Chain A
């Protein structure tokens, strides 16, 4: 069974550009969440998508956005990149059996974004 796949693994962008990262969840998983990891702030929740709808959102500026497609694949976009956006961006998927049921989350290897 394939795991969560994130592409690309590494990316270098220039300040002011925009970037799109991709996440393919495990087959059958409909919930996809995104996290940013930096040495200073640690792992921080960006947003979660379920059935093509954003269901939960962390405390990040509007430059960070995402979407989910009908096949549950997800993309996140960061516009007007800043040096501080350099981070490891992680995607996690889970099956989601309902609002009151926890399901194990599986994380991808992440995309390491460097803004210069």
Chain B
């Protein structure tokens, strides 16, 4: 699986959009980009995933560059409850969603009141 690079921490004001970047310059054509987050003392939570098109769901939007070497997770209106460690994961799609996920160190997003 391709390696990802994320900033270790970021701040964002409550109510503003939080934009979390992820670099995955060695991504292969059949690898997807997944985002999970982990709120303190809880298990990771799936957010969104995509291949090459931009994706949106009720939690967030995922913007993937045309060359697929980087992506941005957007939380449109951040709240204090969005304070968490966000993980960007790149992997080949396979059965069993949690099978062999490689979590890096992630980005610690802190939402400021």
Interface residues of A (CB under 8 A from B): 4, 31, 33, 35, 42-45, 48, 50, 55-56, 58, 90, 92-110
Contact = CB atoms under 8 A, between A and B. Distances in A.
B interface, over-half SS: loop
Interface in B6-53: 32, 34, 38, 41-46, 49
Nearest to A104: B46
Interface of B: 32, 34, 38, 41-46, 49, 87, 93-105
B94 A100 contact: yes
A50 to B, nearest CB: 6
Given A42-B104, A102-B32, A102-B49, A109 B97 contact: no
B97 A92 contact: yes
A102 B38 CA distance: 20
30 contacts: A31-B97, A33-B98, A33-B99, A35-B98, A44-B103, A45-B101, A45-B102, A48-B100, A50-B95, A55-B96, A56-B96, A56-B99, A90-B43, A90-B44, A96-B95, A96-B97, A98-B95, A100-B95, A102-B32, A102-B97, A103-B95, A103-B97, A105-B98, A105-B101, A106-B46, A107-B42, A107-B44, A107-B45, A107-B98, A108-B43
